[in-house]
A = this chain, B = another copy of it.
Amino acid sequence: MEKEVTIYDIAKRLNYSPATVSRALNDHPAIRSDTKDVITSMARQMGYRSNTFASNLRRQRTNTIGVIVPRLNSNFMSCALAGMEKVANEAGYNLIISQSLESARKEKANAKTMFDSRVDGLLVSVSYDTEDIEHFDDFINKGVPLLFFDRVIEHNQCPSIVIDNVKAGYEATTHLLEQGCTRLMHVTGNLKRNVYADRLKGYRMALQDRDIHYEKQLVLETDLSQEAGVEAARQLMAFPHRPDGLFVTNDLCAVTCMGQLKKAGLSIPADVAVVGFNNDPVSQVVEPNLTTIHYPGREMGEIAVKSLINHLNGLMDMQTTNTIILRSELIIRASSLKKAH
């Protein structure tokens, strides 16, 4: 285990002061360029590596971005994280990722850890049962940029990155209606969360635009798990006047539900047309293939990190940008096609 090389070692070896070495390695303009060359090449030769802690300690900066998500093992989230990691990595930032597991309590604990780790910025998609965001006040007070994505919470200091969930919900619903559905069931998540509330709003608007009466009983608020899909199928079939269309805001839940319906002898889309959400790989595997909304996870992750880093570098002020809306898209597949095209 050899000793670590420091700028002092380099300085002594070349007869410069540590200050000069430091500046040379950081490409400071006050250092002549041939001096820089000598120093950097000697640094390489001696196997020098910068000590991040000393640097962080002094500069009060960590080059680290914190990410708090509900859970990281969903297709959408892992794509978003993949995008984040890529951009962060290229910009020389590290990512510290933690999951709240849908619990506000754990989210709070994670926020504290992130704060203590002194992340330069924080990206958050809030948990199911997060009510307030006091636990992020520390960041706001300290001027640490905070950015919400996907599941966001309105806050005038923090920008959000989302898709237009109202529009997506509207399109999904409209599509089902255009296919001739007359009675649409809607299975969604916790309506405290913008993503689900907005999609519901879109659903209602679409109904309204066609003068279809909104029935509260047709909206099922669930945890969108696979079990919820089973339960949704049960409820759907229990209706005296059975719905002929189904809009589920999660693909995995939707396909599980579809499976149950098929098992019960219903035909998709003839008896029940189905639309999911997220464009998860399962949507192209299930039979019939699932119509769904393409949710740009990777892009969302990339843009979130890009915005944060631009802000940190003073290239952009996040306070002025309030919301970034990404394009989503209805992908029509067999599960909803009652009419031939």
Contact = CB atoms under 8 A, between A and B. Distances in A.
B78 A74 contact: yes
Contacts of A110: 89
Interface of A is mostly: helix
A97 interface: yes
B49 A57 contact: no
Interface in A312-332: none
A221 to B, nearest CB: 22
Contacts of A286: 285-287
Give the size range of A's interface with the partner: 35 or more
A115 B218 CA distance: 55
Interface string A59-96: 00010000000011111011101100110010000111
Nearest to A58: B53
Contacts of A53: 53-54, 56-57, 62, 118
A209 interface: no
Contacts of A75: 73, 75
Interface string A219-232: 00000001000000
B89 A78 contact: no
B81 A50 contact: no
